[in-house]
Amino acid sequence: MPEKNRLNNSKINHGVFEMLEESINKKMETSKIMAPVLEKLDDIEPSIWYRYQLDKGISGDGSEYHIYVRQGSSNNLCIFLSGGGVAWNEYTAARPITGAKVMNKQPNYYWNNLRPVTQLMNINLGITDVKRKKNPFSDWNFVVITYSTGDFHVGNNNFVYKNENGEKEVLHFHGYKNFKESMKVATKLFKNPDKILVAGNSAGAFAVPVLTDRIVDKYYKDCTDITLLSDSGQLLYKDWQKTARDIWKCKDYIWKNIHSDNLTLDWYRALYKKYGNRFRYLYSSSIFDYLLSAYYNDVTNKVYETDMHVQKAFYDQLKEFTKELIKLNPDFGFYYNNWSVPAVTGTGTVHTAVREVYFTTGKQNGITMAEWLSDAVNGKVYNVGMELLEMF
């Protein structure tokens, strides 16, 4: 096909996918699927997922920001840090996720707003599917801290960049402010929980160790039963400290604790140094993550795609990461899987599980992730799938 025709077809497809996404958004806005808006915190009713808009919150593109809250029947609280990509420089900032870019397999790095379709990845799935009988967390209270800033929930900057058309725009790296405003809501709704689970998937997984410090020091000082779970938080990049300091403009304690290309490991080291065994520490991942390996290929080779070679590199890094976490704390608990959905993952494996249908349906060694996590929050921490790393 001539190059001109190929480009024209690409533009046509892009327009079609944009219209399709807009149609889905409009249908969701008027459907019963959408979580109702909670106007006043005192009006919350049990067993209902609500959207709660934060007046001082802001999404990456400057639009409104809301979180999801749900009151359960127990006195346990899950603070969930959502995922949704990352922007680490001007090039990635200029390429937020859209349905059209995903379908056309064009580079797309992070969600920059909370349009209706983003509800589908925030609630009623995996651990947040509270209607599923096999979900042991169905009676828990939830605060889902949504993510639309591309900064691992820790940014504090208005970043000026040029979009794909060469026009100046601003990306509001305000993840840290959104987090603080969200925690104010959490403490008003759920004052003295018996147990706390701080969990995050993908971008939220990176944030778990660095934000737990503030959660326990400022918001929930009296809770002594706390479990941490990072689900799929591995992305090696030599310039993380520079990104955190100069692009995201994080608080000093955040960027100064980054010393290597593995900021998740660095943040867990800093957390463990300060708190030791105060928490139960958990990590989970698939072994050939198709999405994180594509990100790694991009930060390393500037190619946003994955293949078996890149997935093998991810696998080797996961083995080393695991060894270091065990060295840090021998009681670290792991859940590793080799699940794949070939139409999506290709030669790789799935990306995250805690907030996917796999949470209660997928099994590794006959154990679901839901069962493993439930055991952990109740004091029984163990490993699943370690043989997949050929280490044990």
Per-residue pLDDT at 24: 66
Per-residue pLDDT at 105: 74
Residues 355-376: pLDDT tens digits? 999 999 999 999 999 999 999 9
- Report residue 13 as tokens: 């497809």
d(CA 153, CA 169): 20
Read off the pTM.
0.93
Per-residue pLDDT at 23: 63
Per-residue pLDDT at 29: 66
Q: How confident is the model at residue 21 (pLDDT cuts 50, 70, 90)?
A: low
CA neighbor of 88 nearest in space, from 228, 274, 255: 255
SS3 for the chain is CCHHHHHHHHHHHHHHHHHHHHHHHHHHHCCCCCCCECCCHHHCCCCCCEEEECCCCCCCCCCCCEEEEECCCCCEEEEEECCCECCCCHHHHCCCCCHHHHHCCCCCCECCCCCHHHHHHCCCCHHHCCCCCCCCCCCCEEEEECCCCCCCCCCCEEEEEECCCCCEEEEEECHHHHHHHHHHHHHHHCCCCCEEEEEEECHHHHHHHHHHHHHHHHHCCCCCCEEEEEECCCCCCCCHHHHHHHHCCCCHHHHCCCCCCCHHHHHHHHHHHHHHHHEEEEEEEECCEHHHHHHHHHHHHCCCCCCHHHHHHHHHHHHHHHHHHHHHCCCCEEEEECCCCHHHHCCCECCCCCCCCHHHHCEECCEEHHHHHHHHHCCCCCCECHHHHCCC
Per-residue pLDDT at 302: 94
What is the mean predicted confidence (pLDDT) over 130-146? 97
When mean pLDDT is compared across 5-19, 20-34, 234-248, the lowest value belongs to: 5-19
Per-residue pLDDT at 26: 67
Q: List domains and CATH numbers for the chain.
A: 34-389 (3.40.50.1820)
Residues 173, 159 contacting (CB under 8 angstroms): yes
Residue 246 CB contacts under 8 Å (≥ 6 apart), including other chains = none
Q: How confident is the model at residue 9 (pLDDT cuts 50, 70, 90)?
A: very low
pLDDT at residue 192 tops 90: yes
pLDDT at residue 10 tops 60: no
Residues 279-332: pLDDT tens digits? 999 999 999 999 999 999 999 999 999 999 999 999 999 999 999 999 999 999
Per-residue pLDDT at 3: 37
Residues 65-124: pLDDT tens digits? 999 999 999 999 999 999 999 999 999 999 999 877 777 778 899 999 999 989 999 999
Mean pLDDT taken over the chain = 93
Q: Count of alpha carbons within 13 Å of 160, Cβ hemisphere only?
A: 2
Per-residue pLDDT at 100: 73
